[in-house]
Structure formats: structure tokens, C-alpha cells
Amino acid sequence: MMTFTLRQIADATGGRLIGDENTLISGISTDSRAVGSSDIFIALKGSRFDGHDFVEELRARVGAVVTEREFPVPPYDIVVPDTYKALGDIGKLCRDSANLKFTVGVTGSVGKTTTKELVASVLREKYKTCFSKGNFNNHIGLPLTLTSLEKDSEALVCEMGMSAPGEIEYLTGLCRPDIAVITNIGVSHIEKLGSRENIRKAKLEIVKGMKKGSTVILDGDEPLLRDEYTRSVLKDFKVIYTGFGITNDIYPLDIFKGSNYIAFDAISPVGEMRISIPALGDHFVKNALFAYAVGIVCQIPFDAIARGIAAYLPGELRQRIYTKNGVRVIADCYNASPESMNAALNVLGGCSERKIAVLGDMLELGLMSEPAHRAVGVKASENSDYIVCYGSDARMIMQSAVANGFDPQKAFFFDDIEALARKLKEIIREGDCVLFKASRRMKLERAITLSSLDFE
């Protein structure tokens, strides 16, 4: 975090300052276990915790605190009505204090984290770039990303997640993108939003933080992003469509799939270039096209765009492909939706080895949960030699696979992760390919560890 005085922070948050206004603050924390003497601690209140409970014990080791009530012996406090809003206000202060050339906002139902990291990898080829780490994509994580900006940061890439209307509007107001990317419109969070049209409407909130004339990059293969409603929302913005269809502004040709990479020619109005990405699956082609489009808008040379995409490294739980004990492992446990589950099964189906699909629940699908899990069962039956399922909803994956003609002697369901791991040790042999895929809260990576298939 850049250094600010308490007065600057109080002015930014509209809070009441108690203490020395010239106190310098150069760090921020919402975790009472990880604060330093020059940090400001934001006392957030959650369903299972209240940061105000730790204020007294932090007195001797923190620079200042932001609270919603005054404490009896304050050293340096800022008292505000809402500490969550204050966190966002401090993020905006940091964003406004950096000398940014470009800010890119990335949202979408699937692929936003991978796209964000690819975009950041491309921008780093020319600009000093700050980007959201991990899943810092909500009303806490995004402001913390903004506080990691430095005075001389030139580019910022923010991931924006949401589960309800209005959330992206708030986030885009904090980071104010010059370029927006909407990767797709899926069914994640449909339980709360009710329809894909409502999900589309919520994703398009991203432009509410943008100046007219800014650039919006969309999945041109998605009809909901080409209809009259979308055109009316984006009538004051420059729109670039990317996707597999040749009617898009940017599209791929001559896709080649290697054992651990994909290469293709990216076709655009400004030229053609060969791109190679160290990942598998057609969805990575789309993600790379978004990064390519951002690179063009930011005037990055073709060779630098290609280097940035080639330098991409998947996160620990996002389609990390490696070999352990002679077994090819596809660890993709970061999250799961019907779209990403199908994409992962396509990758598994393209492998030449004996294929084992280890699949867990997809969450937050509401009334669509049963048909979605059953559809995955059909897909798994067509792309796997063994199916091993974990979680209450994943039982429907196994049942659907068997109903689709899959050998019931090779389909298994477990509600105990250790029992599942024992079955995997019994099934797996050298030369197999094993996919692990489930929603984050299922913690399916435990099965990888218990099966002795950890990445080294």
C-alpha cells in the first residue's frame, strides 16, 4: 500500500478522526493476526466474526484502526458508519493515487480468473502491472487488490465476481475500468438470479463504472451478448467480439492440440499471429483470445502478446496438469459449473490414456442442480473409462452415466473422501489420466493428497 496520513484516509472514508492526523499509514489489514505497526486495521463484521472484538488487543502493535464505534482508550482511530464501505473508500483512494494507464475489469460466469491472469501476463510485457490475486473478486478482495497498487503502477487488472444484482456495479465503481471483459453468461448463481438473462444483466453492470467510449470485449459466440438488450446497454461503448465463429472481430484458425499445450492463429482486423498457451481445452483458446484483444487495445506488440500468453501458469487448483507416479493428473478443483465441468471432461476425453473422472458437486445451481448434474453424467459417460463421484448431488452424475449405458461396475459414489481415495488407489494404475473436478467448497483436492497424487 502507498503511504497516506490518517487525515487523508479519514477524508477518503468520511470518517471521524481521533488522534494524530499526521500519523503515517503504509499497510492495511482485515486480519487481526497479520497486522504491522504501520498498518491500519479495518474492523469488519461477518456472520461468524467481528473485527471489533480484537481492537483492544491490537492497540500495541497496529498503526490505527477503522471501527464503527468509539473505543474508550483510542490511540489513532477513524470511526465510520460502515467499515466495509470504508475499505472500499480506501481502495478508491489508492486507485486514484496511482498513475495508471489502463485498468481492465474482468467478469463472467466461467473463466474470469484464468482470463484475468492471462491479461495480466500480457500487460506485464509492457507495463508495471497489478492484478487481483487468487479469488480477490468481491467487496473485500477487490479493495484489497486496489491497496496493493504502487504510485508507479501502470496497469491494473481486476476480477469481479457476483452472486446478486448490484454487486458488480459496486465493484466497477471502485476500480473504474477503461476496458471490460465479459467471458460468458453461464448458470453459476442462477439459484439467486433466476435466469441467464438476469445473470447477463448483472454482468453488464460492469459498464456503469466506465466512461463512455471505453472498450468492452465480449464472448461473441453467446447470443445473449449479441441481442438488442446488450446492444442498447453498450450503445455508447466500443465493442469487440471474440470467439470461435468467424463473424467475430477476433477468432482462431488452425488449432493444434499438443500433449500439454494448444496453438492457434489469432485472426483480427489488425493482423494475424500464432499463439501458444500451456494448457488444454478449447475454453483456454477463448481465454487467450480475450487476453490477445486486451493486448491489441493497449497497443502491445504482437510478439510481446504471444510471449505473455505463453508465459501463463495455471493456478494451483486450476487445471494444473502434471505426472505423478506414472499417472497423468488434471487437478481442476478451484470451482465447477456445468460449462467448466463439460470443458474439463472434453479435455479428459481428448487424452489417449485410460481415463478416470473424479467429480464432485456443482453448487449454487438451485432448481437447475438436478438436470445439470445429470447432463454432466451423460458427458462423463462419453469421456471416461471410470467415474468416481463425491457429494450428495454428484450421486446424480453417477446415476445418469449408468442410465446412459456406462458400465455400472466402473461407476462409484462416495460421501466420504477417505473411502473415495481408497477406491482410487485400487483403480488407478501407471499410465492412467485422472481428472479431479468439483466446486471449491467440496475441497476435492483432499482426494488428490489422500491418493498420493500431489503435485511436487
Burial of 324 (0-12, 13-18, 19+ CB in 10 A): middle
Q: What is the pLDDT of residue 316?
A: 63
Provide the mean pLDDT of the chain. 94
Distance, in Å, from the CA atom of 267 to the CA atom of 249, rounded to the nearest integer, reads 8
Checking if the pLDDT of 132 tops 70, the result is yes
Q: What is the pLDDT of residue 315?
A: 67
**In terms of pLDDT, which residue wins out, 34 or 297?**
297
Burial of 254 (0-12, 13-18, 19+ CB in 10 A): exposed
Q: Which three cell numbers stand for residue 50?
A: 467481528
Q: Name the pTM for this structure.
A: 0.84
Checking if the pLDDT of 314 tops 80, the result is no
- Delimit the domains of the chain by residue range: 4-88, 98-310, 320-450
Q: What is the pLDDT of residue 189?
A: 74
Distance, in Å, from the CA atom of 68 to the CA atom of 78, rounded to the nearest integer, reads 8
| The CATH number of domain 4-88, selected from 3.40.1390.10, 3.50.50.60, 2.40.30.10, 3.40.640.10 | 3.40.1390.10
Q: Which three cell numbers stand for residue 83?
A: 467499515
Checking if the pLDDT of 275 tops 90, the result is yes
> Which segment of 135-139, 157-161, 408-412 scores lowest on mean pLDDT?
135-139
Share of the chain above pLDDT 90, in %: 82
| The CATH number of domain 320-450, selected from 1.20.120.330, 3.40.50.300, 1.10.10.60, 3.90.190.20 | 3.90.190.20
pLDDT in tens, 94-118: 999 999 999 999 999 988 999 999 9
Distance, in Å, from the CA atom of 312 to the CA atom of 290, rounded to the nearest integer, reads 14
**In terms of pLDDT, which residue wins out, 256 or 279?**
256
Which contiguous run of DSSP H or E holds residue 13? helix 6-13
Q: What is the pLDDT of residue 362?
A: 95
pLDDT in tens, 381-400: 999 999 999 999 999 999 99
The residue type at 423: K
Q: What is the pLDDT of residue 74?
A: 66
Q: What is the pLDDT of residue 239?
A: 98
pLDDT in tens, 152-183: 999 999 999 998 999 999 999 999 999 999 99
pLDDT in tens, 191-206: 788 899 999 999 999 9
* Range 358-383 average pLDDT: 95
Q: What is the pLDDT of residue 136?
A: 86
Radius of gyration of the chain (CA): 24
418 to 157, 410, 424, 449: CA distances (angstroms):
39, 18, 10, 10
Q: What is the pLDDT of residue 456?
A: 62
Share of the chain above pLDDT 70, in %: 98
**Please, where are the H alpha helices in 311-444?**
338-349, 369-383, 395-403, 417-427
**In terms of pLDDT, which residue wins out, 334 or 266?**
266
| Per-residue confidence band for 257, with pLDDT thresholds at 50, 70 and 90 | confident
pLDDT in tens, 36-58: 999 999 999 988 889 999 998 88
Q: Does domain 98-310 have CATH number 3.40.190.10?
A: no
**In terms of pLDDT, which residue wins out, 198 or 74?**
198
Residue 352: CB atoms within 10 A of its CB come to 9
